[in-house]
Amino acid sequence: MKIINKKINLGVNIDHVATLRNARGELFPSIIDAADIALKSGADSITAHLREDRRHINDSDIKDIVTNFPGKLNLEMAATEEMLNIALNIKPFSCCIVPEKREELTTEGGLDVLSKHNQLKKFIDPLRDAGIRTSFFVDADEVQLEKSADLDVDCLEIHCGSYCRAFDRSLNTCEDEFKKISNIAKLASQLGIEVHAGHGLNYETTKMLSSINEIEELNIGFFIISESLFKGLDIVIRDIKNCMSEGRSLGEEN
Ligand code: PXP
């Protein structure tokens, strides 16, 4: 059965506002001002990744976001005891569990839910019990979906890095990567899991991914913050929202 027009939300990842701030060790640009503009311009939530090495967002940023914008923080974090304690203490609206390697520039791939099954179970049960929406960042892979469903996670965020890279470089793998995402989105939705997508999106790939009706949330960071240097954050967010609406209409036509 075709699902028509499920709502699609935008989470704006503000990590790289903090990257810029930390580059000079100053108090600006303010991540709170960025979050405020993002929400006023149509973002539905604010995403921030508290990394083990605190290279961009730090502990006080997380507290400030939760205090200033209750119910709006999607906290990305690795499945470590330190992060679990922080999440249970600050109680964000949702937690997206991501793999983390110290030496990587960004989150390079999805979580291996298969090999980390027991560790993840111990991790997400307390979060769910505390009323926090749980999400796993995974590659578009059926085994990962199956193992995630076993753990009763609320949402799956599909890592779109390979697709976006292929699209941007006009690689012939692009169509296959898109099909993989679309297939996992459909299967996850049939299992009652809310489907999100993120990593590497720009205007074009936002439009394409929004055409997949089962995707209910996109999380976008680096492109939005980069583009806002030229156009301003409010305008970029409105333009991204327009791409999402255009993409959704394409999905309805197909
Ligand atoms: N979603 C998740 C789970 C991520 O880890 C990231 C990158 O931190 C993003 C979305 C945003 O990716 P990008 O900054 O490439 O838009």
| φ and ψ at residue 198, rounded to 5 degrees | -175, 170
Query: Which among 16, 56, 159, 199 is annotated as catalytic?
Result: 199
Instruction: Check residue 247 and give its pLDDT.
Output: 96
Instruction: Check residue 4 and give its pLDDT.
Output: 55
Would the CB of 136 count as within 6 Å of ligand 1? no
**Catalytic site residue 175?**
no
Which domains are present in the chain? 9-253 (3.20.20.70)
**Catalytic site residue 56?**
no
Instruction: Check residue 254 and give its pLDDT.
Output: 59
| CA 120 to ligand 1 center in whole angstroms | 20
Would the CB of 221 count as within 6 Å of ligand 1? yes
Instruction: Check residue 253 and give its pLDDT.
Output: 63
Instruction: Check residue 104 and give its pLDDT.
Output: 72
Would the CB of 219 count as within 6 Å of ligand 1? yes
**Catalytic site residue 199?**
yes
- How many Cβ atoms sit within 10 Å of the Cβ of residue 194? 20
Instruction: Check residue 100 and give its pLDDT.
Output: 78
Report the alpha-carbon distance of residue 235 to residue 108 in Å, rounded: 29
- Tokens 């149509």 belong to residue: 42
> Is 80 exposed, middle or buried (CB count within 10 Å of its CB: 0-12, 13-18, 19+)?
middle
- Residues β-bridged to residue 95: 75, 134
What CA dihedral angle connects 228, 235, 38 and 250, to 10 degrees? -110
Going residue by residue through the chain (254 aa), what tens digit of pLDDT does each one get? Answer: 555 557 899 999 999 999 999 999 999 999 999 999 999 999 999 999 999 999 999 999 999 999 999 999 999 999 999 999 999 999 999 999 999 776 677 777 899 999 999 999 999 999 999 999 999 999 999 999 999 999 999 999 999 999 999 999 999 999 999 999 999 999 999 999 999 999 999 999 999 999 999 999 999 999 999 999 999 999 999 999 999 999 999 876 65
| φ and ψ at residue 135, rounded to 5 degrees | -145, 145
Instruction: Check residue 78 and give its pLDDT.
Output: 95
DSSP 91-148: --SEEEE----TT-SS--S---TTTTHHHHHHHHHHHHHTT-EEEEEE-S-HHHHHHH
| φ and ψ at residue 187, rounded to 5 degrees | -65, -45
| CA 136 to ligand 1 center in whole angstroms | 12
